[in-house]
Amino acid sequence: MIENIDISLVDWSRAQFALTAMYHWLFVPLTLGLTFIIAIMETIYVRTGDEEWKHITKFWMKLFGINFAIGVATGIILEFEFGTNWSNYSWYVGDIFGAPLAIEGIMAFFLESTFIAVMFFGWNRVSKKFHLLSSWLVAFGASLSALWILVANSWMQYPAGMHFNPDTARSEMLDFWQVLLSPVAANKFLHTIFSSYMVASMFVIAVSGWYLLKHREKLLSMRSIVIATTFGLIASLFTAYTGDGSAYQVAQIQPAKLAAMEGLYNGKNGAGLIVFGILNNNDNDRDEDDITMKIEIPKMLSILGYRNADAFVPGINDLVNGNKEHQIVSATEKINQGKIAIDALAKYKEAKKLNNQQAQDSLQKVFEENYKYIGYGYLNDPKSIIPNVPMTFYSFHIMVALGFYFIFFFMLVLYLAIKQKFENKKLILRLGILSFPLAFVASMAGWIVAEVGRQPWAIQDLLPTIVATSNIDASAVMLTFALFAVLFTVLLIAEIKIMISQIKSGPKGGSHV
């Protein structure tokens, strides 16, 4: 089924999309989180009339503006790649996938971009309350923009509210609300934005901590730290809560991802959750659990995945070979059913050309009976359903470990800030600066779990990545990969330099006490 696939084209297309997405994500969390921190600060200014809060707000607004401008450029390129590199995917699901992206552009982006002008240039030109309203609308607009993009991504993980039309060979939307309100979309949206709020909070703490170490901007820094730690602590707790919900959803619809997250090859009842472990064999070429230095919470994986301490959690071997006791269909059976569905679809099209209605009806029935596993029909090796285990395993555990670290860090810093002891804690101040890049590491690790753990699927069970690419030459993708790598790196360096310059110059017109 895949003899004519250019694997190098698939690999380079995936690499280019990953490059663009990861660079884009360097800007997005700050945009999502800083908007709310700025709106909170401006709210305090409007309520108290304290001009220092206005200076603080304008300072963080300036840093947000730098980040926002560069982030937009990478986001536009990312959406274009669906048409340039993934046209087969776009054809197959464009009627569904395109809807939330279109809504994002029409509704959220225009809301955000309209009021951002008032937010930056409306000081002393509009009333305080209208300016404050604009700041809040920018904050909500940014999160609303993220909502529609994450709905589209969640649909790839869990294709709800759709049916496949054999006449057009395209997926069509049946229920918009099922797409928007699927449990996967709800959990993914909340988990992603709260983790982004956490990243932005760490940015504010890092910059403020640097000022305190340099004995500068004490009032700005201490006020900013109190806001950021409070916001970050709430966000980190909700990130952990929604992460639990996400793990439950993964267990229900993406069991191979869950097995890879825990390096679980042989399923078991009452499976434990690995807190720390090292894979002895760092590739997919193994068929048994092989983890050393393992620290495990007994039965916790069964609880997270199935809300039952004794529930059976399938391992990779169960998913590849099947497990009759637990009614798990083998990958080989799914591949066979998928090939039957693909063959029936091809013959259905032939019967339609010949206007043979009886054959069409018969073949459509066969197709619908096997459509559930149509994506498997493009695969030949049952083991190809296994995602990259080491990358998924380590990314998951790094994400979880850092997530809990941030909860305790925010609690500690908030306590010290309230007690007015934070500015003298040089070790904690330095730790705050170092923790900012760790927040990005945790966020990126989460996306690696979500996307690498989903492989080999572009759309779970329905469309493998190997048949989702455009029919173009791999050398063209290699060239644009190199160009984008240079361009994005230049943009990132430019942002860092401008940010550092603005931070060093400090707020204009504010107190330097």
Residue of 498, 499, 483 lying closest to 77 (CA atoms): 483
Burial degree of 3 (CB within 10 A; 0-12, 13-18, 19+): exposed
In one letter, which amino acid is 228?
Answer: A
| CA–CA gap between residue 57 and residue 139 (Å, rounded) | 14
Report the pLDDT averaged over residues 86-108. 81
In one letter, which amino acid is 489?
Answer: T
Domain map (residue ranges) of the chain: 7-254+387-505, 258-386
Question: Nearest 10 degrees: CA dihedral of 474, 476, 479, 483?
Answer: -130
| CA–CA gap between residue 40 and residue 61 (Å, rounded) | 12
Q: Tokens standing for 58?
A: 């304008």
Catalogue the E-assigned strands of 331-404.
none
| CA–CA gap between residue 2 and residue 379 (Å, rounded) | 7
Model confidence pLDDT, tens digit, residues 15-32 = 999 999 898 898 899 999
Model confidence pLDDT, tens digit, residues 179-197 = 888 989 999 999 999 999 9
| CA–CA gap between residue 107 and residue 259 (Å, rounded) | 38
Per-residue pLDDT at 93: 84
| CA–CA gap between residue 243 and residue 191 (Å, rounded) | 6
Per-residue pLDDT at 225: 94
Per-residue pLDDT at 400: 93
Is residue 289 predicted with pLDDT exceeding 50? yes
* Long-range contacts of 454-458, Cβ-Cβ distance < 8 Å, separation of 24 or more: 454/156, 454/157, 454/254, 454/257, 454/387, 455/387, 455/388, 456/379, 456/384, 456/385, 456/387, 457/156, 457/375, 458/86, 458/89, 458/156
- Determine phi and psi for 313, rounding to 5 degrees: -105, 115
| CA–CA gap between residue 378 and residue 380 (Å, rounded) | 7
Q: Which residues contact 49 (CB under 8 A, 6 or more apart)?
A: none
Is residue 105 predicted with pLDDT exceeding 80? no
Q: Are 176 and 99 in contact (CB under 8 A)?
A: yes
| CA–CA gap between residue 43 and residue 49 (Å, rounded) | 10
Is residue 306 predicted with pLDDT exceeding 60? yes
Q: Tokens standing for 6?
A: 């250019």
Is residue 86 predicted with pLDDT exceeding 60? yes
Model confidence pLDDT, tens digit, residues 477-510 = 999 999 999 988 998 898 899 999 999 988 864 4
Query: Which residue's entry shows tokens 């934005």?
Result: 193
| CA–CA gap between residue 84 and residue 69 (Å, rounded) | 24
SS (H, E, C) 57-123: HHHHHHHHHHHHHHHHHHHHHHHHHHHHCCHHHHHHHHHHHHHHHHHHHHHHHHHHHHHHHHHHHCC
Q: Are 340 and 387 in contact (CB under 8 A)?
A: no
- Determine phi and psi for 217, rounding to 5 degrees: 45, 50
Per-residue pLDDT at 319: 94
| CA–CA gap between residue 103 and residue 151 (Å, rounded) | 11
| CA–CA gap between residue 148 and residue 439 (Å, rounded) | 24
Of 100 and 445, the structure prediction assigns the larger pLDDT to 445
Query: Which residue's entry shows tokens 């280019």?
Result: 16
Question: Nearest 10 degrees: CA dihedral of 7, 10, 16, 20?
Answer: -150
Burial degree of 324 (CB within 10 A; 0-12, 13-18, 19+): exposed
Q: Are 257 and 427 in contact (CB under 8 A)?
A: no
Is residue 430 predicted with pLDDT exceeding 90? yes
